[in-house]
Structure 1
Amino acid sequence: MTEKNILAYFKSPEEAEGVKRKLEALRAIDVQIDRFGRYPGESVNEPVNPLTGNIVSLAGLTMGAEISEKGVGILLSADPSASGMSDGGQGGPTGRDILLTAVVDEQSYAQALQVVQEAGGLV
């Protein structure tokens, strides 16, 4: 059988979870929900002490950013809001920052697409 994929954007995790349950009832092969943001990575709990030089990155010090690795810290520190000279545009993505990814059989693709769109998903 041929498989098709669906990428749909939602405003809240609850909307996406409702669609996920319906797609699973349609026997979707795989369904995943993720939230995306302006910068990658997850938080690493490292103490920040500017007196001893234990600073993960400039962004961690000035913005209270959650830094998971050195590359992410460099990227965040390049943001205008890290220097204090700008607010950087008031945060990251807003609105539809929840991504539902689904893999369905070709036979149920049209029905799955309809379920996503009726729930307010942007395909």
Structure 2
Amino acid sequence: MAERGILAYFHSPQEAQGCISKLQALRAIDVQIDKVGQYPGQGNDETFNPLSNSDFDGLSHLTLGAAPSSQDARILMAASPDASGMSDGGHDFYTDDMTRRDTLLTVVVNEAAYDQAVRVIEEAGGRI
């Protein structure tokens, strides 16, 4: 039987996790959840003071947890509204656009279950 892939975007891994059991009930062949973003690195999970801890690569590392590969990349990342906190990039934070969806759910299903799987994902808040 033919297989089809689905890429769906969510606001958080927990939101994406909400539909996994239903997808498994549809006999999904493969399901994977990943965080995606425009900057390399894992992000910061801790808060530290850059004045007392001089072991950081600048604003892009401090606020985005990014690992820039060069000084030029470091400067460009620090100028981003996401790093500076001075603007939300001109987007209305409360609209349902793709700017704040940083979790990717990848699903492989049999073609016969594709439409049901899409419905399950959309009901869970995912955007395909």
TM bin (shorter chain)? 0.5 to 0.7
Question: What TM-score comes out, normalization by structure 1 length?
Answer: 0.66
SS in 2 for 1:100: strand
Contact 1:8 1:116 in 2 (8 A): yes
SS in 1 for 2:116: helix
Report deviation, 1:64. 5.4
Measure the CA separation in 2 of the matches of 1:24 and 1:72.
43
Q: What do residues 48-101 of structure 1 show as CA deviations (whole Å, max 9, x unaligned)?
A: x99xxx86634467x455354x627752332326xxxx656458x853221111
Measure the CA separation in 1 of the matches of 2:15 and 2:64.
28
CA RMSD after TM alignment: 3.6
- 5+ long unaligned stretches in structure 1: 44-48
Question: What TM-score comes out, normalization by structure 2 length?
Answer: 0.64
* Aligned partner letter, 2:4: K
- 5+ long unaligned stretches in structure 2: 44-49, 90-97
Q: Give the structure with higher Rg (CA).
A: 1
**Cα pair distance change 1:88/1:120, threshold 3 Å:** same
SS in 2 for 1:78: helix
Equivalence for 1:39? 39
Equivalence for 2:7? 7
**Cα pair distance change 1:73/1:118, threshold 3 Å:** farther
Q: What do residues 31-62 of structure 1 show as CA deviations (whole Å, max 9, x unaligned)?
A: 1111222312226xxxxx99xxx86634467x
- Identity, % of aligned pairs? 44
Equivalence for 2:22? 22
State the number of aligned residues: 113
SS in 2 for 1:28: coil
- Pick one of 105, 108, 111 that aligns with 2:116: 111
SS in 2 for 1:104: strand
